């Protein structure tokens, strides 16, 4: 899916590491949001309000912090380094709906996705998404039982 929406050539690890952690997180936030929205749109015919409600559960900092914990064991050495740098970045804003710890972990999660996106490592992004997709499937199944 993401292969069709890139604009520049893929960056090497060295070039990608030169991008600020918060910029990687900014980009990763968009990547994650697109993946989650696409997931629900492909599998449901829900109205926009419900799509928004479902999507919000997974794009908020508290879930992204949990997601980072869940993928910890499958991260590459480079991704661990990106996450560490993002977690330690000086934040200019703090979420009003999340603890500082969750917000920093969410920023780390997003930075990993931004890093992989800039490297055009879409297979890696898909692997991470597949690892977390069961949470979305569970929410859908629960919603369908109602």
At 46 the pLDDT is 86
100 CB neighbour count, 10 Å cutoff: 11
pLDDT of residue 55: 92
- Please give the Cα distance from 109 to 28 (Å, whole number): 8
**Is residue 5 pLDDT above 70, yes or no?**
no
CA 110 to chain centre: 5
The per-residue pLDDT for range 33-78, each reduced to its tens digit, is: 999 999 999 988 888 988 999 999 999 999 999 999 999 999 999 9
Instruction: Domains for the chain: give ranges and CATH numbers.
Output: 12-140 (1.10.1520.10)
Active site residues: 29
- pLDDT, one tens digit per residue, over 97-127 is 778 889 999 999 999 999 999 989 999 999 9
Give the global pTM. Answer: 0.87
Copy the structure tokens of residue 51. 């799509």
């Amino acid at each position: 899916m993401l292969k069709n929406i890139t604009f520049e050539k893929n960056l090497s690890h060295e070039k990608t590491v030169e991008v600020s952690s918060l910029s990687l997180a900014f980009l990763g936030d968009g990547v994650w949001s697109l993946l989650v929205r696409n997931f629900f749109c492909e599998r449901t015919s829900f109205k926009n309000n419900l799509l928004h409600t479902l999507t919000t559960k997974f794009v908020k900092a508290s879930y992204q912090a949990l997601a980072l914990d869940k993928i910890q064991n499958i991260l590459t050495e480079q991704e661990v380094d990106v996450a560490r740098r993002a977690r330690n970045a000086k934040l200019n804003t703090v979420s009003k709906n999340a603890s500082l710890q969750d917000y920093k972990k969410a920023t780390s999660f997003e930075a990993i996705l931004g890093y992989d996106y800039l490297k055009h490592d879409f297979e890696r992004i898909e692997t991470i998404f597949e690892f977390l997709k069961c949470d979305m499937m569970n929410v859908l199944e629960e919603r369908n039982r109602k």
